[in-house]
Amino acid sequence: MAADGAVKETHWMDRGSFNDEIIEWLQETGTPEGVASLGRYGIPDDNALGVPMGIMKKKAKSLGQNHAVALELWETGFLRSPDHGGVHV
């Protein structure tokens, strides 16, 4: 945060390209086996990418918090389960 209280945005926080990078990472990291495993939890696999939650949490921690980016990613449809209200990537 800058001295005047404004949030200083860095190059990786350009939301458009940053979201694209995150989606690309999710698609590369997910597996068909991960998608198939969602069924045992009763989670629909439409739009699922099959990324294990442990890997997701590590990635999220490394990226830090950015509410605007999170909201835009949520809107992609990859990161939610309409029937369960949870994350299913």
* pLDDT (tens digit per residue) in 38-50: 888 888 778 888 8
φ/ψ (deg, to 5) at 77: 90, -10
The domain ranges of the chain are 12-74
Mean pLDDT of 14-29: 81
Place of tokens 């990635």: 59
Cβ atoms of residues 57 and 3 within 8 Å: no
Cβ atoms of residues 79 and 59 within 8 Å: no
Kindly report the pTM of this predicted structure. Answer: 0.64
The model's confidence at residue 5, banded by pLDDT at 50, 70 and 90, is low
Q: Give the C-alpha separation, 62 to 14, whole Å.
A: 17
Mean pLDDT of 40-61: 86
Cβ atoms of residues 78 and 49 within 8 Å: yes
Lowest mean pLDDT among 9-23, 26-40, 46-60, 67-81: 9-23
Q: Which residue has the higher pLDDT, 1 or 50?
A: 50
Q: Give the C-alpha separation, 89 to 82, whole Å.
A: 13
Query: In sequence order, what are the residues at sequence separation of 6 or more whose Cβ sits closer than 8 angstroms to the Cβ of residue 86?
Result: 43, 80
